[in-house]
Structure 1
Amino acid sequence: MANNLVLTLYKHINSPEARLYLSRQLFEEAVHVQFYLTLLDTYLPDPDDRAAAFAAVENIPAIREKAEFCFRWMDSVEKIERLETKEDRRRFLLNLICFAACIEGLFFYGAFAYVYWFRSRGLLHGLATGTNWVFRDESMHMEFAFSVVDTVREEEPELFDDELQRQVTDMLKEAVEAELQFARDLCGEGLPGMNTASMQEYLQCVADQRLRRLGFAPVFGSENPFSFMELQNVQELTNFFERRASAYQVAVEGSVAFDDDF
């Protein structure tokens, strides 16, 4: 993700305001990595177990399939220095849409569903609490990318033809199937309140949302089967009887007079 932000998006999105946001996004992605690395160290203290987790992209077919999907779309424009032709701009647009709609907007949302399923069962509250902030950031990253797509649509509407709609639709269908392969591995015969069928319905619902945001027709017509995902945009308030509160500012001591010189 960091490579795509720095080597592709920052290079070709030349608005100063947009580049300022991309710089912030890069920092936030680094914070996310550090957060999950800290959790990994906590959950898997044995170095061999951690090494196996890092090697999952090579050793677990479902994860490898998702990685290959990402690299296939993101690497397609890495060596283009300037978007001089219509075909170059179309390839960049597909890269951006894949990054926002499929990686941040679908693969990540699948991961969020697993995390919030644990929360709904009263498990892994630390993981869920940190993921609340990651969810907030990734939602903003996705919306920023879609705003860039909106700008491209205004400047070059001819790029948004039937062929682009077909490519984006096929891309999201492929992303749903890739994430579903991972869901089959994770859910097995089914978990309480989550199974492969419900994950498929959820992923299809999310994919339709991305297509609608991009101005394309939805293709699945599925509904969100997970009631616990409705909590994802709700600000968490600490239960003081359960744990130490950390989301509130300590009162500032002293006094301020408004006629003082500053």
Structure 2
Amino acid sequence: MTTTQNTGLENTARKKALLDPGMDLTLRPMRYPLFYERFRDAIKNTWTVEEVDLHTDLADLNKLTDAERHLINRLVAFFATGDTIVANNLVLNLYEHVNAPEARLYLSRQLFEEAVHVQFYLTLLDTYLPDDKERAAAFAAVDNIPSIRDKAEFCFRWIDSIEHLNRLETKDDRRAFLLNLICFAACIEGLFFYGAFAYVYFLRSRGLLNGLASGTNWVFRDESMHMTFAFDVVDTVRREEPDLFDDELHAQVRQMLREAVDAEVQFAEDLLTGGVAGLTLSDMREYLQHVADRRLAALGLEPEYGSKNPFAFMELQDVQELSNFFERRVSAYQVAVTGTVNFDEDF
């Protein structure tokens, strides 16, 4: 009798899936130790806005051409609300439906990191745009600047797509959730933000705005880890419920990424409208397509564009620097934490 009861309990435990509705509170036995390791790794990546010296950029701002100044103004306008949108989706949608306490530990940490990013970009705007009217205009960019408004509307559409879901009861519910998760990982954090990082690192390759680039290094690592966790969730669901990943879902993911690339190319057209020496719209489009293909590969899908990375400053300069810098910072912040951190810069 005992054997039968135990077998029944084991079968029940095996059938419990990550997206099953509820509020699992049990950390032992731990169902998903990888998520807990992601949480521990994120703690090692702690940084504060006060460590970033943006005032070193003030002299550089006066050196910019009109076209470069337009690029920076548009870029900081996007930064003004970008991470707030991501944080809202995390609270409204992700935390509710990823039903494992170790995963929710990571999501709690991610929310903290999004708050630090919001503070960083607030400080950036206060430093770069001392005029109150200019700052107000930057924060209103989601309403007043078409290229930023279109990106924001893309985000809001996917937030709203599952706002009615209180429980993921059906396969259609779970597919809708997966699309939201993939959108924010692959398209928003993994494409919109990576496009923004490329502009920052391009300027640094010109010897400009090193303070902004320094802070971006830390944001970059956070965003890369957010993507990694989200793709871990997708991989876990694929193992548990492979029938969710049908041709229709794959087609929807491809369409979503195509729309994200189109929106980001439109943003690039706006940023580069004045003609920025050394940075062409063609190269930016190719870079965005390359990044989109990388996201598809992470999801186990074939590339859409077959584009290469045209930016040597991304492949040669920043990969090595970010890796080394990350290793140095880890030792400074490891307090009562053991283990190693594996970080793969995915440009």
Q: Give TM-score, length-normalised by structure 1.
A: 0.89
The whole-number CA distance in structure 2 between the counterparts of 1:196 and 1:3 is: 31
State whether structure 2 residue 219 is matched by structure 1 residue 134: yes
- Letter of the structure 1 residue corresponding to residue 99 of structure 2: N
Find the counterpart in structure 2 of residue 100 from structure 1: 185
Mapping for residues 68-107 of structure 1, pairs under 5 Å: 68-107=153-192
**RCO comparison, higher one (Cα < 8 Å, 6+):** 2
Find the counterpart in structure 2 of residue 173 from structure 1: 258
Task: Encode CA deviations 1:2-41: one digit per residue, 9 max, x unaligned.
Answer: 1111111000001111100000000001001101110110
Of residues 318, 332, 344, the one that matches 1:232 is 318
- Letter of the structure 1 residue corresponding to residue 303 of structure 2: P
State whether structure 2 residue 132 is matched by structure 1 residue 39: no
Distance 1:151 1:247, change over 3 A: closer
Give 1:79 shift. 2.4
State whether structure 2 residue 89 is matched by structure 1 residue 4: yes
Mapping for residues 1-262 of structure 1, pairs under 5 Å: 1-188=86-273, 190-230=275-315, 231-235=317-321
Give 1:235 shift. 3.4
Deviates more, 1:229-238 or 1:7-16: 229-238
Q: Give percent identity, aligned residues only.
A: 72
- Letter of the structure 1 residue corresponding to residue 105 of structure 2: L
How many residues are matched?
A: 242
The whole-number CA distance in structure 1 between the counterparts of 2:320 and 2:119 is: 24
The whole-number CA distance in structure 1 between the counterparts of 2:256 and 2:230 is: 17
Give 1:218 shift. 0.6
Distance 1:23 1:248, change over 3 A: closer
The whole-number CA distance in structure 2 between the counterparts of 1:207 and 1:224 is: 11
Task: Encode CA deviations 1:234-259: one digit per residue, 9 max, x unaligned.
Answer: 33689xxxxxxx9997xxxxxxxxxx
Give 1:84 shift. 0.1
The whole-number CA distance in structure 2 between the counterparts of 1:132 and 1:156 is: 36
Q: Contact between 1:10 and 1:22, CA under 8 Å: does it hold in 2? A: yes
The whole-number CA distance in structure 1 between the counterparts of 2:331 and 2:321 is: 13
The whole-number CA distance in structure 2 between the counterparts of 1:248 and 1:163 is: 45
The whole-number CA distance in structure 2 between the counterparts of 1:195 and 1:118 is: 13
Which segments of 5 or more consecutive residues in structure 1 lack a partner in the other structure? 239-245, 250-262
Task: Encode CA deviations 1:99-157: one digit per residue, 9 max, x unaligned.
Answer: 10000000000000011111011111100000000000000000000000001101111
Backbone CA RMSD of aligned residues:
1.7
Q: Secondary structure, in 3 states, of the residue corresponding to 2:164?
A: coil
Q: Secondary structure, in 3 states, of the residue corresponding to 1:77?
A: coil
- Letter of the structure 1 residue corresponding to residue 87 of structure 2: A
Find the counterpart in structure 2 of residue 258 from structure 1: none
The whole-number CA distance in structure 1 between the counterparts of 2:276 and 2:126 is: 26
The whole-number CA distance in structure 2 between the counterparts of 1:49 and 1:10 is: 35
Find the counterpart in structure 2 of residue 254 from structure 1: none
The whole-number CA distance in structure 2 between the counterparts of 1:247 and 1:13 is: 28
Give 1:233 shift. 3.0
Q: Give TM-score, length-normalised by structure 2.
A: 0.67
